[in-house]
Homo-oligomer: A and B are copies of this chain.
């Protein structure tokens, strides 16, 4: 397919390389142009603006930091909404609010464009290896039309529903599942340390019990206090927790554990941990235990 790709951070760049490998024609745009240039060698065309990137595209894929970045990229004068042809699709891979997803669906529809929310699970390494988990939502015929793109970037595609925002709910709930592991480890480690038990031994047992790469990975980071550089910055963890709480409030579902995690992240921000890895939330449990 002939596609545009906007937002070339580590995740986006890896996805573009896989799309090119799969034989798609990709025009790229990034606010800082050097990241776009870097993909030219792999076969991407470099555009001057989002609208320019979209001109001949059947689909415009976006992978941006947050609601504000995506919204301005879509609705700017030279933005996606202005550049995308009728019947073409905007596929948002970003972790955004369900509210923005609904607005995008509505606004693209007014312009006879389509919109899908297709967030992904996986870190940059998984993106490089074409191992992302892809969660798609939107009208079934449009999802079907774009399947080759999902196959190019991930190892499996899941359908969350016919409303695009449903995929965003799945994504933020998934991130909540991971964040809760961090809080759980934080509390257990604090109690164990105050009891004179080596957290490494506990982690070894948990690795036998859960046998999960998520537990092994984050458990190891916390035990070894490897919070800097961040794999995923705590301030982004707070943002995602805000998103899951907002999604849950919209459908009147209270999530007290998500509230607890939000309070922990805020406390961590107050202690200057915003740029550390989000698993450094464990320090707040330690702090409250007097460690």
A interface residues, Cβ below 8 angstroms from B: 98, 121, 133, 135, 156, 158-161, 163, 165-166, 169-170, 173-174, 176-178, 180, 183-185, 187-188, 190-192, 194-198, 201-202, 204-206, 208-215, 244, 247-249, 251-260, 262-264, 266-267, 269-272, 284-285, 287-290
Contacts A161-B197, A191-B255, A263-B255 hold; do A211 and B208 have CB atoms under 8 A apart? no
Contacts A195-B166, A206-B174 hold; do A263 and B254 have CB atoms under 8 A apart? yes
> CA separation between A214 and B207, bound complex, in Å?
11
Q: Is the CB of B177 within 8 A of A184?
A: yes
> CA separation between A271 and B288, bound complex, in Å?
8
Residues of B close to A252: CB separation below 8 A? 194, 266-267, 269-270, 289-290
> CA separation between A269 and B187, bound complex, in Å?
17
**CB closest residue in chain B, given A248:** B191
> CA separation between A248 and B265, bound complex, in Å?
13
Copies assembled: 4
Chain B: minimal CB distance from A101 (Å): 11
Q: Is the CB of A254 within 8 A of B213?
A: no
**CB closest residue in chain B, given A189:** B173
Q: Is the CB of B209 within 8 A of A121?
A: yes
Chain B: minimal CB distance from A197 (Å): 5
Residues of B close to A215: CB separation below 8 A? 210, 212
> CA separation between A98 and B173, bound complex, in Å?
29
**CB closest residue in chain B, given A290:** B270
Contacts A206-B177, A212-B211, A257-B257 hold; do A201 and B289 have CB atoms under 8 A apart? no
Q: Is the CB of B266 within 8 A of A187?
A: no
**CB closest residue in chain B, given A260:** B256
Residues of B close to A287: CB separation below 8 A? 287-288
**Contact residues of A: prevailing secondary structure:** helix
> CA separation between A264 and B289, bound complex, in Å?
10
**CB closest residue in chain B, given A137:** B197
Q: Is the CB of A188 within 8 A of B192?
A: no
Residues of B close to A192: CB separation below 8 A? 169-170, 173
**CB closest residue in chain B, given A270:** B290
Q: Is the CB of B289 within 8 A of A209?
A: no
Q: Is the CB of A204 within 8 A of B158?
A: yes
> CA separation between A165 and B196, bound complex, in Å?
11
> CA separation between A36 and B263, bound complex, in Å?
44
Q: Is the CB of A288 within 8 A of B270?
A: yes
> CA separation between A284 and B263, bound complex, in Å?
13
Q: Is the CB of B170 within 8 A of A176?
A: no
**CB closest residue in chain B, given A289:** B253
Q: Is the CB of A195 within 8 A of B251?
A: yes
